[in-house]
Structure 1
Amino acid sequence: MTNKKTNWTVTILLMLASLLILFPLYLTITIALKTPQEMAGNLLALPKSWEFENFTRAIEMTNFFNAFGNSAFVTVFVVIFTVLTNSMVAYAVARNFHKRFYKFLFYYFVSAMFIPFPIIMLPIVKQTAAWGMDNLVGLIILYIVYNLSFNIFIYVGYIRSIPKELEEAAIVDGATTWGVFWKVIFPLLAPMNATVAILTCLGAWNDFMLPLVILSDRDFATLPLVQYIFQSQFSTNYNLAFASYLMALAPMVIVYIFAQKWVISGVMKGSIK
């Protein structure tokens, strides 16, 4: 048997990192279940009476289900079309990377990752308003376009590691380029598709800035946006605000718990050739 020594430095750092994550979550849960009177006491103490009614009131005051439906609609369509369109663009770039135009196109897409959103925010707002895209459909299109730069970066690296012999064999069997992509390449992209889908899902669901500047109708508001509106109107009602935060957080926590293994492994595979 081999004796494995505990690396106490790494263990302590991991414990501290876990504490930094769990402590705010503990505060969020306890505050959401307290009464306003209990907020004046010890903030770290457990609730004396579990006020689950805070969640019901938060749902009514924030029009939660309408915002939840908007967020779900945007997220589902963004994930589906991002995976489909971004993988096709990446395949075209990866298999023609030896050509100057496609190599330029790759670096052009990747360079977009270094442009801060505030720089292009005002032109985007003006253009979307002029084109009538200040709605959920316009928001979906913008998310698909904005995700392109990072997704191209990880897709291209992964696709270039796939042997071209697989495609050549399919072509010999009579497959077209379209058929090669859908029947050979796309199934092999399953780990990468899962990674892109998860990161896109988390990003679209939690994003606040783009809906804030794009959406003009309050009925189109997503969850982060209605929580911001609610907090600005009822800034002292922390119990209902935190109850609303928990309900918005829960779906993404569940998604990440079951899908976290795909995130790191997919990014690692896509960043190397």
Structure 2
Amino acid sequence: MDTKKTNWPATLLLILGSLLILFPLYLTVTIALKTPEEMSQSLLSLPQHWHFDNFAKAIVMTDFFRALGNSVFITVMTVCLTLLTNSMVAYAIARNMHKKFYKALFYYFVSAMFIPFPIIMLPIVKQTALWHLDNPVGLIFLYTVYGLSFNVFLYVGYIRSIPKELEEAAIVDGASTWGVFWKVIFPLLMPMNATVAIATALWAWNDFMLPLVIISDKNFSTLPLVQFVFQGQFSTDYNLAFSSYLLALAPMLLVYVIAQKWMISGVTKGAIK
């Protein structure tokens, strides 16, 4: 009878990795629910009393709902625009990879993943200011463009795994190129669309650097910007600061926990070719 042996090195690494993730999360939750006096007594212990009013104070002091609305608007619009445009670009490239121009275009997009943002930061700031795009609309446009390289890389691999016979059958039935894409290809891209949507949402929601250098009006501040300003103003009040961190973290954490299986599936299928 064969018995499976436990891979102890891998198991220990998994346990260690889990602790490295869970321990900071534990500290964040407990600090957010303590008073400053309880923190001075013991940082690692559970709160003696659960001070949920810290969240209410953090909401008022950070103008949380305004920042939440800005982040939701930017994230949702970025995801929608990214799915519509990036998938079309990838489809055109994937079905024409035998042509030199499209092959060169593919490698051109992929090469953009290796350009550090600080190199292009100053020109981007100047250009967006000149075009009056130093606002949420400008952020949405930049997120869509900056995500193009990685998303095309994922989409092209997935689209090339879809049989061309499906498109040929649709063309025989009288479908145009647009009809083939929207009625045949795009519905088949749902696993990859989910992957791209989740990755884009996490990026747009958590990004700090781009809003910091682009947004000029504080009324358009996103949640990461609000957390930064709040921490600068109330750097000694860690309880309220950590409460605000949890409020900003909760929506995307919930989205990722629910949708992580689609993200993993899409990345795996996109690596077929």
1:207 aligned partner: 207
Residue deviations 1:58-96 (CA, integer Å, cap 9, x gap):
000000000000000000111111011100000001111
Residue deviations 1:192-238 (CA, integer Å, cap 9, x gap):
00000000011100000000000000000000000000101111111
**Match of 1:133, SS?**
coil
- Supply the distance in 2 between the matched residues of 1:160 and 1:32 (Cα, whole angstroms): 48
The amino acid across from 1:189 in the alignment is L
2:87 aligned partner: 87
Counterpart mapping for 1:122-137 below 5 A? 122-137=122-137
1:7 aligned partner: 7
1:161 is displaced (CA, Å) by 1.2
**Match of 1:12, SS?**
helix
1:268 is displaced (CA, Å) by 2.1
Counterpart mapping for 1:18-57 below 5 A? 18-57=18-57
Counterpart mapping for 1:103-122 below 5 A? 103-122=103-122
1:75 aligned partner: 75
1:189 aligns with 2:189: yes
1:246 aligns with 2:222: no
The amino acid across from 2:105 in the alignment is L
- Stretches of structure 1 that go unaligned for 5 or more consecutive residues are none
The amino acid across from 2:38 in the alignment is E
The amino acid across from 1:114 in the alignment is F
1:233 aligned partner: 233
- Supply the distance in 1 between the matched residues of 2:272 and 2:207 (Cα, whole angstroms): 28
- Supply the distance in 1 between the matched residues of 2:73 and 2:152 (Cα, whole angstroms): 24
- Supply the distance in 2 between the matched residues of 1:2 and 1:185 (Cα, whole angstroms): 46
- Supply the distance in 1 between the matched residues of 2:142 and 2:206 (Cα, whole angstroms): 15
Q: Alignment identity in percent?
A: 76
- Stretches of structure 2 that go unaligned for 5 or more consecutive residues are none
TM-score by length of 1: 0.98
2:159 aligned partner: 159
- Supply the distance in 2 between the matched residues of 1:123 and 1:39 (Cα, whole angstroms): 45
Equivalences, count: 273
Residue deviations 1:13-71 (CA, integer Å, cap 9, x gap):
11110000000000000000000111212100111111111100000000000000000
1:174 aligned partner: 174
- Supply the distance in 2 between the matched residues of 1:188 and 1:57 (Cα, whole angstroms): 46
Contact 1:191 1:266 in 2 (8 A): yes
- Supply the distance in 2 between the matched residues of 1:107 and 1:150 (Cα, whole angstroms): 11
1:17 aligned partner: 17
Q: CA RMSD in A?
A: 0.9
The amino acid across from 1:11 in the alignment is T
Contact 1:153 1:271 in 2 (8 A): no
The amino acid across from 2:116 in the alignment is P
The amino acid across from 1:146 in the alignment is Y
Contact 1:58 1:243 in 2 (8 A): yes
1:2 is displaced (CA, Å) by 4.3
The amino acid across from 1:182 in the alignment is W
